[in-house]
């Protein structure tokens, strides 16, 4: 009987260590997931929402350039150059964000269109106008990319949250099962002690 009691104590100790280990692993996993979610949410803001604002401002500048080139008045060249300076400043900010391969390709195309506007602004307003319109179309493509990438990152955050919830429920079930087993071992141990005590009393 004493060997059975020792086995019970060993089993209970192993189960308790399992509970402690499970709690520690859960804590570490939650910290990793929280860090990943924080990075993903920060990226959605810095690389998608902020960039979407840059694209909106660039689109307004392109609309202004297109309008100016269509007007054909005397101050067109100076006005277009002023707007191109604002575009260049926005492009520098845009380039500091994290760009996907497709986004970088289209952004480089946009900058080439801007360069074409600048080159043709002094002598060939028709070519500059075509470049401005092409730049506007490229900005629309960049805007679509922002929406797609933002959705991907949001889906990633939701998947991490969903996976974390499933693991949390699973760990809770395991802890409940372990608690029931430990309680059963304690109950069995008390029963054995009671039987042993009654046997000793009968001997007297």
Predicted TM-score (pTM) of the model is 0.67
Is residue 117 within 8 Å of 80, Cβ to Cβ? yes
pLDDT of residue 17: 75
Burial class, 35, CB count within 10 angstroms (exposed 0-12 / middle 13-18 / buried 19+): exposed
| Residue 144 in tokens | 């679509």
DSSP reduced 3-state for 134? helix
The pLDDT tens digits for 142-170 are 999 988 888 888 888 788 778 777 877 77
pLDDT of residue 203: 47
Domain extent listing, the chain: 2-197
The pLDDT tens digits for 15-51 are 777 777 777 777 777 778 778 877 777 777 777 888 8
pLDDT of residue 21: 76
Specify the CATH class of 2-197 in words: mainly alpha
Tokens 């493509």: give the residue.
141
Q: How far apart are CA 145 and CA 164, in angstroms?
A: 29
Tokens 């429920």: give the residue.
169
Q: How far apart are CA 88 and CA 94, in angstroms?
A: 10
Concatenating the DSSP letter of every residue in 25-41 gives: HHHHHHHHHHHHHHHHH
The pLDDT tens digits for 112-135 are 999 999 999 988 889 999 999 999
């Amino acid at each position: 009987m004493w060997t059975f009691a020792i086995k019970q104590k060993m089993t209970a100790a192993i189960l308790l260590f399992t509970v402690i280990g499970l709690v520690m692993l859960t804590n570490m996993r939650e910290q990793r997931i929280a860090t990943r979610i924080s990075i993903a949410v920060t990226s959605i803001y810095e690389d998608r929402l902020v960039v979407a604002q840059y694209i909106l401002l660039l689109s307004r500048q392109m609309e202004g350039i297109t309008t100016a080139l269509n007007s054909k008045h005397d101050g067109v060249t100076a006005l277009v150059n002023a707007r191109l300076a604002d575009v260049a400043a926005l492009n520098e900010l845009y380039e500091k964000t994290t760009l996907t391969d497709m986004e970088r390709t289209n952004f480089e195309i946009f900058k080439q269109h801007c360069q074409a506007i600048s080159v043709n602004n002094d002598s060939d307003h028709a070519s500059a106008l075509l470049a401005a319109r092409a730049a506007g179309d490229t900005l629309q493509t960049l805007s679509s990319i922002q929406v797609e990438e933002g959705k991907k990152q949001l889906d990633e955050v939701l998947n991490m949250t969903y996976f974390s919830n499933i693991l949390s429920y699973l760990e809770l079930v395991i802890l409940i099962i372990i608690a029931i087993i430990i309680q059963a071992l304690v109950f069995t141990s008390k029963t054995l002690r009671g039987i042993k005590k009654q046997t000793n009393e009968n001997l007297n």
